[in-house]
Amino acid sequence: MSIGGVGEGGLIEVIRSIAGLSEDNDLEYVELNGKLLTMKIDGIAITTSKMPFMNYYDMGWKVMAAIASDFLVKLSKPLFVVTSLTLRREMPMEDFRDLVRGLSEGAHYFGMKYLGGDLNEGNDYIIDAAALGIAMSGKITRSPRVGDVVVTNPNFGYTGLVFKLFYQGSLDNYMNNELVRRGIEILRRPKPNLNLLGELSRLSQCISASMDSSDGLGKVLWTLSRNGHVRIVVDELPTTQELIEGVEQMGLDIDELVFNGGEEFTPVFSIRSECLGDFERLGFKAFARVLEGDGVFYRNSLLRYRGWDYFTGWH
């Protein structure tokens, strides 16, 4: 059997088994001299990640945004980041400069100091970034409590719209559509709001679980359900009425775009219900409940969308 037959989730389980790791999380926690440090490594391959409307600056920024998003959902402040770049020798110098500018300026935007790193030659363009930070609260897992509500920023579906149109070969026909333009801007310049760290850290006792949405909201919900051994019931789509109406006019399925989008780099928190008002003041909205049982349900049926999995794709 090849790794393609196992999928990303199965391969992570193999890594955890061999390395003796107890759990999978957005960040790794390390206790050192009384401090709770947080670490993250993330990477992309240009050939599978760069869309036609993106340049190399965008790719550098995207890597830093992905790092920042994972720190945000665990209420951790990223401090330092290094990269390992694998490049083909025929890469134009201007593209190289754009990539490094994207990495450097993206790191600065999210409050990290970019320390450079490693450079290699290969047959593809690979960007890996590793960051070190400090937790502003205790450790946060992926295991929700029964009785929680699930909250997020209600702007899902815009990136899903771009992906859907791109993969069905019709994106060029909608490049002047305002909804599509918004989705493209999110993909080119994702900006997880690390300015919320202070306020969120003061609400840390409200949070039982959290995840970043980069692999799709469906994957987040199924992961939370599995890890917490709970039933998650989605009451409404965390999106805008504008998008719902626009997608309907295009003849697309809004459920698919919301649950199977990805790369929104948006935090999803499972919180105590009595804390909802505090999170609403920060721009979050409740869209699901955590109950006893198992599985993820929407409109009285099991949620069919399960997000992105490397080596197998959307499912």
pLDDT, tens digit, 9 for 90 and up, residues 119-147: 999 999 999 999 999 999 999 999 999 99
Q: Angle at CA 264, nearest 5°, toward 260 and 265?
A: 125
CATH code, residues 27-135: 3.30.1330.10
- Domain 149-314, classified CATH 3.30.230.70, yes or no: no
In the chain, where are the structural domains located?
Answer: 27-135, 149-314
* Residues in CB range of 236: below 8 A, 6 or more apart: 287
Please state, in angstroms and as integers, the Cα–Cα distance from residue 61 to each residue in 109, 192, 289, following that order: 9, 12, 34
Q: For residue 314, is pLDDT > 60?
A: no
pLDDT, tens digit, 9 for 90 and up, residues 204-233: 999 999 999 999 999 999 999 999 999 999
Round the average pLDDT of the chain to a whole number and report it: 94
pLDDT, tens digit, 9 for 90 and up, residues 32-84: 988 999 999 999 999 889 999 999 999 999 999 999 999 999 999 999 999 99
Domain 27-135 and domain 149-314, same fold? Reply is no
Q: For residue 24, is pLDDT > 90?
A: no
Q: For residue 17, is pLDDT > 90?
A: no
* Relative orientation angle of helices 56-73 and 93-109, to the nearest 10 degrees: 20
* Residues in CB range of 174: below 8 A, 6 or more apart: 165, 180, 250
Q: For residue 299, is pLDDT > 70?
A: yes
Q: What is the pLDDT of residue 268?
A: 98
Global confidence as pTM: 0.93
Q: For residue 289, is pLDDT > 80?
A: yes
Please state, in angstroms and as integers, the Cα–Cα distance from residue 247 to each residue in 25, 91, 107, 170, 309, following that order: 33, 38, 34, 14, 25
Q: What is the pLDDT of residue 211?
A: 96
